[in-house]
Each structure stands twice: as C-alpha cells, then as structure tokens.
C-alpha cells in the first residue's frame, strides 16, 4: 500500500487542503473508489476506510493479482467535514456538481479538476454516494442512463438491487456521469444512511466492492456470492409524498414489506403535537428509501416503494 497526497491547496486561515489516496498493486488501472465529497458523508468515508483496511491485509498476504492497480480516496472534502458543513466551507458549493472541473476556475472547480485528473484511465470507478436530502435506503448500486452504462456488470456487486435512472440536467456535472463519458464504467454505491454510521451496512458495501474485484480477477480470495441483484428503473418506484408540513414520525423501516393502506408515517403539528397528516402505502410494496429528517415540507418525497 502506498499513501499519496494527490492534491494540495494552500489555505489563508488554516492548514493546507489535501486529498489523500491509497494505492494497492501496480499496472493496469483497474478500479478507483471515491468516498466523501460532502462534509456529512460519514458512512461513505467509513466504507472507504474499511476498504483500505481490507485491501492492505489482502496485499500483505499476497491476495492481490499482479499487474492490477486499485486507488481508494476516502475523502475529497475534509475541510467541510472538519467544519461540520455539508458543502464547501467558503461558498457552500457542491464539489459533485462541478465535474469535470476547471483548473483555473473557482475553488471547487479546481478541486474537481485535480480529482478527476487522478481518476482518469481506470477501467471501473465506484463513488460512495449519498442522497441530496436526508434519506436512508436499501444498499444498492445506481447507474445513470448515459448510453455507456452496463446494468448487468453492476449486478456483480451482489447487492439486493441495481437502480438505473435517467439523468437530469444537473447530473451532467457529477462524477458518475463524467466518468462514464470518459470511458470508465462508473457505479454509485449507496450504503444506507448519510450523516451517521451503520456498521452492518458499511461492511455489506465493503464486501460488495471486494466481491466485484474478485469477480474480475483482481483478488485471490473466495467470497460469498451475495444477492442475485434485481435491476430496477427509478421511474418505476412508487413515490409517497407528504400532504402537510411538520414533524415527521416514522411508522416503518427501510426494507420493510408494507401492505396497501398501511400507515407509513404521521406528520405532527410542530406547536401542539397533534397529528395533522398521515402517509399510507398506496399499494403493496417494499420500502426502498425513506426521509430521515425530523421535519418535512409539504409535497416532499417521504418514501420510495418497490412495487410487489
């Protein structure tokens, strides 16, 4: 294992901004993994830390195939995490909305450009991702429908679901989209919560990446084959929205099977605690994702259900 400083940016007020990476093996650029690009992506950074730990052990025991290189970047925005902010501390911009970056542009554009330069040429790319809103979900692999995506390849992670979605206009400036355009098979790995840690789900996602590497001959190991991943189209998921704003009281959990008419959540009046709204399942399904914030706005998506 080689720990490298991939990018340094001087700071006028505190220590320099640095992005560190961990390289394993040498030769063909096989897989690059990127963790937290936002300051509250603790779960995403933890998944990468677990990968570094496992790959270091495998390398020391001769478990990596020769002629292959793996790069793991646990964090691309340590400033925001240290300051307790989700986005870039100075101007509140999102690094994952400025790819492929611009080396002479604004600060986040320069960070994205330097990061993207390091990620060029890899056969596979994995980004440990999070939802834009406070959401918890079933661990899954997500692909953008760019014409270059390969859903069957994504099934090799052995997670329960592979989700394919049509890009929106802002997706064209994300890492996943640009990776695909620049000839890397890119996958977004969703590891459950954001803003908190879940050991069980983090290790499930760590195992998924190791399983994928074994499938492609990078690891000399024998892992559990995982799930027979089901391919889902995002627009086929059933959205349940809030009819009122208020305090959210959940009445179901991620991964739970629910029946038509079942109570999924209550919305409480923030002043007197009375129930002034409910969310019920419109049909039978499985809870794929749910809103985890304490407050919810009217018409916000509370749940996404897989139709059964």
CATH fold of 237-307, please? OB fold (Dihydrolipoamide Acetyltransferase, E2P) (2.40.50)
Strands 68-75 and 28-36: parallel
pLDDT tens for 54-65 read: 999 999 999 999
Using CB atoms within 10 Å of the CB of residue 178, give its burial: 0 to 12 exposed, 13 to 18 middle, 19+ buried.
buried
CA distance 264 to 285: 12
CA distance 197 to 273: 29
pLDDT tens for 151-169 read: 999 999 999 999 999 998 8
User: Binning pLDDT at 50, 70 and 90, where does residue 221 land?
Assistant: confident
- Tell me the average pLDDT across 205-221: 94
pLDDT value, residue 170: 87
* Domain range 2-233, CATH class: alpha beta
pLDDT value, residue 113: 97
First to last CA, the chain: 45
Residue ranges covered by each domain of the chain: 2-233, 237-307
- Tell me the average pLDDT across 123-148: 93
User: Binning pLDDT at 50, 70 and 90, where does residue 183 land?
Assistant: very high
pLDDT tens for 288-301 read: 999 999 999 999 99
**Residue 13 pLDDT exceeds 80:** no
Q: Which two tokens stand for residue 120?
A: 């060029």
- Tell me the average pLDDT across 140-154: 94
CA distance 92 to 169: 20
* Distances from the Cα of 45 to the Cα of 81, 161, 222, 272, angstroms: 10, 22, 25, 39
**Residue 12 pLDDT exceeds 80:** no
* Distances from the Cα of 134 to the Cα of 130, 195, 293, angstroms: 9, 8, 6
* Distances from the Cα of 288 to the Cα of 77, 184, 185, 197, 256, angstroms: 28, 28, 25, 18, 8
pLDDT value, residue 10: 85
CA distance 293 to 41: 15
3-class DSSP assignment, residue 295: strand
The upper half-sphere exposure of residue 109, i.e. CA atoms within 13 Å in the direction of its Cβ, equals 6
pLDDT tens for 247-266 read: 999 999 999 999 999 999 99
Q: Which of 32, 39, 27 is nearest to 64 (CA)?
A: 27
pLDDT tens for 191-212 read: 988 888 999 999 999 999 999 9
Q: Which two tokens stand for residue 225?
A: 């084959």
**Residue 11 pLDDT exceeds 80:** no
**Residue 233 pLDDT exceeds 90:** yes
- Residue 55 makes CB contacts below 8 A (sequence gap 6+) with 1, 22, 24, 64, 70, 72
- Tell me the average pLDDT across 206-234: 93
Q: What is the mean pLDDT of the chain?
A: 94
pLDDT value, residue 195: 85
CA distance 163 to 233: 6
pLDDT value, residue 32: 98
pLDDT value, residue 165: 94
By percentage, how much of the chain surpasses pLDDT 70? 99
| Ordered strands of the 185-190 beta sheet | 2-9, 17-25, 68-75, 28-36, 124-129, 185-190, 140-144, 161-165, 230-233
**Residue 31 pLDDT exceeds 90:** yes
| Helix boundaries (H) for 84-224 | 107-119, 151-154, 175-181, 199-215
User: Binning pLDDT at 50, 70 and 90, where does residue 49 land?
Assistant: very high
Q: Contact 171/177 with Cβ under 8 angstroms?
A: yes
| Cβ atoms within 10 Å of 3's Cβ, excluding its own | 9
Q: Which of 143, 191, 200, 199 is nearest to 44 (CA)?
A: 191
pLDDT value, residue 59: 95
pLDDT tens for 97-108 read: 999 999 999 999
DSSP assignment letter at 149: -
pLDDT value, residue 132: 83
């Amino acid at each position: 294992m080689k720990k490298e400083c991939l990018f340094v940016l001087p700071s006028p007020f505190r220590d320099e901004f640095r992005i560190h990476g961990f390289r394993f093996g040498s030769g063909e650029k096989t897989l690059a993994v990127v963790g937290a690009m936002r300051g509250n992506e603790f779960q995403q950074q933890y998944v990468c830390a677990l990968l570094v730990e496992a790959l270091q052990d495998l390398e020391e025991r001769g478990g990596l195939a020769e002629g292959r290189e793996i790069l793991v970047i646990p964090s691309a925005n340590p400033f925001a995490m240290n300051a307790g902010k989700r986005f870039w501390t100075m101007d509140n911009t999102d690094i994952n909305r400025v790819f492929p970056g611009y080396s002479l542009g604004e600060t986040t554009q320069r960070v994205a450009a330097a990061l993207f330069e390091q990620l060029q040429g890899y056969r596979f790319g994995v980004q440990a991702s999070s939802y834009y809103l406070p959401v918890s979900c079933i661990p899954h692999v997500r692909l953008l429908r760019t014409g270059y995506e390969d859903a069957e390849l994504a099934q090799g992670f052995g997670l329960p679901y592979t989700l394919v979605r049509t890009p929106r206009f802002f997706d064209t400036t994300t890492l996943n989209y640009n990776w695909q355009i620049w000839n890397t098979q890119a996958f977004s790995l969703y590891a459950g919560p954001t803003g908190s840690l879940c050991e069980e789900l983090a290790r499930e996602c760590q195992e998924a990446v190791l399983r994928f590497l074994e499938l492609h001959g990078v690891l000399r190991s024998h892992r559990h084959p995982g799930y027979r991943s089901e391919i889902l189209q995002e627009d086929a998921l059933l959205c349940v929205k809030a009819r009122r704003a208020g305090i959210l009281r959940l009445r179901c959990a991620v991964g739970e099977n629910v029946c038509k008419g079942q109570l999924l959540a209550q919305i409480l009046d923030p002043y007197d605690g009375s129930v002034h709204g409910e969310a019920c399942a419109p049909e039978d399904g499985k809870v794929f994702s749910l809103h985890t914030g304490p407050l919810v706005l009217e018409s916000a998506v509370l749940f996404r259900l897989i139709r059964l």
